[in-house]
Structure 1
Amino acid sequence: MFTDSHCHLSFPELAAQLPAIREAMAQAQVERALCICTTLEEFSDVHALALAHDNFWCSVGVHPDNEGVQEPSVQDLLTRAALPRVVAIGETGLDYYGMEDRKGGRSIADLGWQRERFRTHIRAARACGLPLVIHTRSASDDTLAILREESQGEAAHRAGGVFHCFTESQAVARAALDMGFYISFSGIITFKNAQDLRDVAAFVPLDRLLIETDSPYLAPVPFRGKTNSPAYVPYVAQQIAQVRGIAVEAVAEATSHNFDQLFARVAAC
């Protein structure tokens, strides 16, 4: 019934309890999950999850916030993207959040390596025809600009994908939608102070919506502050159903269908 379009089951908090997580998913009617890669070093573990379970798939990519890891080339990504049950490139994008505290006082100009890494992922996605999983935090203008630049003059070969764990404005959502991207909402949408985000969820067309947990992070209310799990993605669907005034079953059906449409290779795996 439900599909978690973004989770990190290879992370230690979840990998050690995978059987219990899978049982909880079954009880919550969460039928499928996309396991997201954040470093090339991690890829073999993420890919192993997808190979071992017929309701898991995976991506390949290097998260924009990861430093001191193997820097991907286009060929690195393409080689792994060609493997069975790999259905997306990412997560990738830009993260400028907390420049003073988290990035040692560096300026946005100092993060050129993030922008170049993002371009590498876009080029790989275009080359292999897989969708991008986009992470953008306090960096929406540059994220959108780079996506436009990399696709300029070649609309037929534009890289599509999803803006995951969306926390931006309605204007950013509109721009992403205009470029053909899907928008995915996480447990943040259930937080008390997230009314603006709930308004965005009401705005995004139902046929362009996805739901996710981003587990082990961002557990929805009533589990906020605890370790998140794909079994909690129905709480995201329930919140979207509430703000749109429709049944949660309609959200589950639409977002699972959208998952199939975006990650078209799922059907072939």
Structure 2
Amino acid sequence: MKKIILSALLLPLFLLSACTTALPGEEVMQNLVNRSADLESYHQFVALTTTTTKEDLTGATVVSEQYTTADATLFPKEKTGYGKRIDKDSNYPATKSEFYVTPEVGYSRTDNADWTAYATPDVPLASLQVYPLETFIELTQIIEAYATLELEGDEYLLSFSGSDDALNKEINYLFQTFPSEQTDYDIQIHLDAKTFYLTAVSYRSTVTQADQKSVITTELTGAFDLYNQAKKLKTVPDFDSAESVAETADSSF
């Protein structure tokens, strides 16, 4: 009889110890910042789309769209990286750019044209990233105060949906955009519960300008992986050769 009672007591204790306890939001954010500060390398895929729906003088609805996708492998401490980027405006053909950035010089080319060397590597590196990892980390820290933080399986999920004046000001300051009062947000951010690395971001803002009869929707998504495991930069290829091809991505479009 005593053995049965002992087993009954041990079972809930075992189940309790097997469960992962969610940490407070402040601690999760601090772990995110600390772990991300010493990164040797990572890979990111970022897509940014802006869609404007507007009524013209005739009353017809006009839709215009701009989007950018960038596939980049980066080495923060060395300030180097490589990858590809596509830019498209609904009124113009898409352009495809490739980048290969070393500590001494950055190379880029558009639509398979000749490679151009930049004495300041920061220029092609910034163009490659669209938004760097640091921007997404700052976005995570901003919305943590407004969002719901939940531990779901092996990840933390930050979620916010709605509008908030204070949040609106902080986000527009981060992205260096002009704030609009009629802005609704739908944001989800995923963090690995074990490493606290950022794994995915889904961001959507909708600005309604009633006086101009327009709606502007911005969608920003990011996927992050290969933390400290990205493929190292190879020796700089011979960019003078028309047939030379730099290795510019861990994956391709």
- The answer, yes or no, to whether TM exceeds 0.5 is no
Pick the structure with greater CA Rg: 2
Question: Which structure dedicates a bigger proportion of its chain to helix?
Answer: 1
Question: Which structure dedicates a bigger proportion of its chain to strand?
Answer: 2
TM-score scaled by structure 1?
0.24
